[in-house]
Amino acid sequence: MEKTINRRDFIKTTTATTAGVATLATGITLTTFVNANENPVTNEKRWGMLIDTNRLTETDIDGMVGACQKEHGWGSDKLSTGDQKASWIKKLKVKDTATGRISNLALMCQHCEEPPCVDVCPTNASMKREDGIVLVDKHLCIGCRYCMMACPYEARSFVHEELTDQKEHMPRGKGTVESCTMCVHKVDKGEQPACVASVNSDAVIFGDLYDSSSKINQTLKKVQSTQIRADLNLNTAVRYSGI
């Protein structure tokens, strides 16, 4: 995707770093106070993730799960039991039946480009942002759970009990559905998702799939990667290599 930097884009990128006063290369000083993202996200970007299962250790995966729980405050349900507990990201161990090779991977919402959860949601609560992040708008969610039926990855959780003391940036409540947000609140600030940040190696990379200068874009060009259930043609934003 061809891109020329214009002023809007410039503000957008700098807003991420909370620029009070910014100086353009040409020497013009921009003194507008920009505290946070003022402009809507656009489809010029598409956030994605590449998980290299060859390098990802089991400890890494546990760390990712832990980081996600800590960031969003799920996983401490007091009353829900078994499969009722929230689970935004899971650790999976997969064995190739032909070769016997075992891979470990983390599975969360794959942020599909053609998300079945969004298609089926009767109230538009399941939605995809312009930049490809799939979210549940809990203001509209009626808790019908049709999206959970439709998601091929069982990536979503239903809140089965009353919650208090939620994280400030992550409203969660009884009777609505939730899933991995790709840490949208961090991404909008120019940070990495919590799970990505928790891994010390390059086993998980996050970035703009469209930006040909981004690491994820370049790596995807070099290595062989797959989408889980690629046959469904959902064009997921989370890709895997080594399985």
Partner 1 sequence: MSIIRYEQTQGKSLGFYALVAGLGAFILAALGSVYFMEHNGHHVTGMSNRIVWGMPHVFALFLIVAASGALNIASIASVFNKKVYKPLSRLSGLVALALLAGGLMVLVLDLGRPDRLIVAMTEYNFNSIFAWNIILYNGFFVIVGVYLWMMFERRMNKYSRSVGIAAFTWRLILTTGTGSIFGFLVARQAYDAVIMAPMFVIMSFAFGLAFFILVLMASYKWTARPLGDATVNRLSNLLGVFVAAVLYFVAVYHLGNLYLAENSGVENFILLDGGIYTKLFWYGQIILGSLVPLALLYSPATKGNRSMLGLASVLIILGGLIQLYVIIIGGQAYPMELFPGKEILEGYGTIASYTPTLPELMLGLGGVAVAIIAITYLVKFLPFLPESLADDVVDPHHKK
Partner 2 sequence: MNRWIILFFSLIMTGAFAHGQKTHSLGDEAHSIKDSGKTYHESISVIRKMHPEFLNHKRDKTLREGVRTEEYSLKGCVTCHATKKDNSNDYHPVNSEGQFCSTCHKKVATSVDCFSCHRTTPAQGAK
- The footprint of partner 1 (CB under 8 A) covers 77, 79-87, 90-98, 102, 107, 116, 118-125, 140-146, 148-154, 156-162, 174-177, 228-229, 231-232, 243
Q: Which helix (H) or strand (E) holds 12?
A: helix 7-15
What is the nearest approach in angstroms of partner 1 to the Cβ of residue 150? 6
70/145 with CB nearer ligand SF4? 145
Residue 113 interacts with which of partner 2, ligand SF4, partner 1, none, CB < 5 to 8 Å by class: none
> Measured between alpha carbons, how far is 165 from 162 in angstroms, rounded to an integer?
11
Give the three-class secondary structure for 58.
helix
- If one counts every other C-beta atom within 10 angstroms of the C-beta of residue 238, the result is 24
Q: What secondary structure letter does DSSP report for 157?
A: E
CB 51 within 8 A of CB 242: no
What is the nearest approach in angstroms of ligand SF4 to the Cβ of residue 52? 20
> Measured between alpha carbons, how far is 149 from 34 in angstroms, rounded to an integer?
42
> Measured between alpha carbons, how far is 104 from 25 in angstroms, rounded to an integer?
46
Residues 149-208 that bind ligand SF4 (CB under 6 A): 151, 153, 155-156, 177, 179
141/220 with CB nearer partner 1? 141
Tell me which residues touch partner 2 (CB under 8 A): 35-41, 127, 129-131, 135, 137-139, 164-169, 171-176, 184-185, 188-189
